[in-house]
Amino acid sequence: AVLILFCILVGSSQFVGSPIACWAPAHFTGAMVTYTNYICWISNTYFVASEDTLPTPNQLRQFRINYYQWVPFILALMAFLFYSPFAIWHLMAKPSGLDSKSVMKIVSSMDACSTESRDKTMRNAVKLIDRAIDYHRDYYDQSCLGQLRRRVTRCLLPRNKSGCYISALYMLVKILYLANVCGQFFLLNAFMGPRFNIYGFEVIRDLMSGKDFWESSRFPRVTLCDFSIRTLGENNQRHTI
C-alpha cells in the first residue's frame, strides 16, 4: 500500500504537473522553454558537481541520470512483486482443505473479545482445523471406498491432498518472500547504476564528514541537459541547459 501510494504521488506529478523545470536563457520564448523542458525530461540528463568544470561536447558524460522518468513504474513493479507471494498463498492454499484465511481472521479477532466470546471464537477455529484433519483422515482411509475416493481425487486434483501440502506451500511462500527481497536489491542495483547497494553507507559517510546530502550524485536536484536545434541550412545549435 505504501509503494502504491508513492507511485500515485510521483506519477501524478510527472503526468499531470511539471516533472522538470529548466533554467533557460533569457532569449528563449515560452514555446522554446516548453520544448526544453520536454526534451530534457525524456532524454537522459547528467550530473556535474558545482566545483567541477563542464565537459566539452566531445567528452563522455558521466553520472547520467536515466531513472527519474521510470520511478512510478519501478514502484508499481516493486509493489506487484511484494504482493505476489501473498496472492500465491491465498490462491494455492484453498485446495488444501484448510481455510487459512478464515482461521487467521478468527484468531486475530480474539484480542478484542471477552472471555466467553474468546472461548467461543477458539472453538470455531478449532472446528475449522479439526474439519480439515478429518478431511485428510478420510482421504487416507484404507478401505475400498477410501482408496477409490483417493484415486479419483488424485485424477481431478493432483498433489493437493497430501498431508504436507500446506506445510510445503508455507515454506515455499516464505522462500519467495526472501528471494523477492534479495532479488529486488540486485534489480535496483542493476537499474540505478553500479555500487548502488552501498548507497546507504555513502550517505552516512557524507553526513559524518559534513558533506551536503543534497549534493549527492545519485539523486541530484540540479542536472545538466544537452540538446541541439537545427536551424536553416545545415547548422545545428547546441545548447547545454
Domain ranges (residues) in the chain: 44-224
Report pLDDT digits (tens) over 123-178: 777 777 766 666 555 555 455 555 555 554 455 444 444 556 677 778 888 999 99
Instruction: Report residue 219's pLDDT band, with 50, 70 and 90 as the boundaries.
Output: confident
**504482493: which residue's cell?**
83
Q: What SS3 state is found at 218?
A: coil
**508455507: which residue's cell?**
170
Could you give the CA distance from residue 128 to residue 111 in angstroms, rounded to a whole number?
19
Instruction: Say whether pTM exceeds 0.85.
Output: no
- Give, rounded to a whole angstrom, the gap between the first and last alpha carbons of the chain: 37
Report pLDDT digits (tens) over 61-107: 667 777 788 888 888 988 999 999 888 887 777 666 666 666 677 76
